[in-house]
Homo-oligomer: A and B are copies of this chain.
């Protein structure tokens, strides 16, 4: 039985929503450069794959991913000057999320989780949720969880994945975490042979506009993905999916 909403008929979807009050997951991705070795759809693909795993564990459903996200920034996604990166204005993403949340509430969904796979989306997704909640009013029974999936990697796992010490999520764009997760979920979309071996990017504590494109490695990779393996991906995917499942069970009292 599929967890993908887009593969269910409305009759089946309604039956499940009415009967089970399932958790609905909305993956929030992007179309964004991820170096020469990962595909442009990485953020939506990973967020969707993780959501499907969690939904499978807890009887949830996964809505179609938001495939376009907020503008890539140099220090977290390489910047919006790359060819292929296809981004939305902030207000567009806010409206997209607001409309989707409003509709899930109309369906009778009471447990909604927005799983963000693109760091730059975070605040616009938050605003979209808040606008929808304001519109729905105090009597709405909808509760919404919002998260970035990588935050559920445990310290033990990070210590294991980064034997030389975890440098933090800041430069993890198209690097070991995302590459390993892709090797776990969608290995045939990874060109392991093309992973660049550049030193980590070094950014100052400020941003400049127009983008100083020379701050960003030409590959778009902010720190090396060398050392990525499917096994590491599996380990992190286990953390993330178990972590989200536990959070969902706790907060939604499943």
Contact = CB atoms under 8 A, between A and B. Distances in A.
Interface of A: 4-14, 17, 31, 33-41, 44-45, 63-68, 70-71, 73, 82-92, 94-96, 98-100, 103-104, 107-108, 120, 122-124, 126-127, 129-131, 133, 143-148, 151-152, 189, 191, 194, 204-210, 219-220, 243-244, 247, 251
B124 A84 contact: no
A111 to B, nearest CB: 11
The residue in A34, A73, A126, A251 that gathers the most chain B C-beta atoms within 10 A of its C-beta is A126
Contacts of A126: 73, 207
Contacts of A124: 90, 123
Nearest to A92: B95
A41 B64 contact: yes
A152 B205 CA distance: 7
Nearest to A129: B209
Nearest to A112: B209
A11 B36 contact: yes
Nearest to A149: B205
Nearest to A32: B10
B95 A9 contact: no
Given A86-B103, A123-B122, A40 B5 contact: yes
Given A130-B71, A209-B146, A9 B35 contact: yes
Contacts of A71: 127, 130
Nearest to A128: B90
A231 to B, nearest CB: 23
The residue in A35, A65, A95 that gathers the most chain B C-beta atoms within 10 A of its C-beta is A95
Nearest to A71: B130
Contacts of A194: 9, 11
Given A31-B64, A152-B205, A204-B247, A84 B144 contact: no
Contact of A103 (B85, B144, B151, B251): B85
A9 B42 CA distance: 9
A86 B99 CA distance: 8
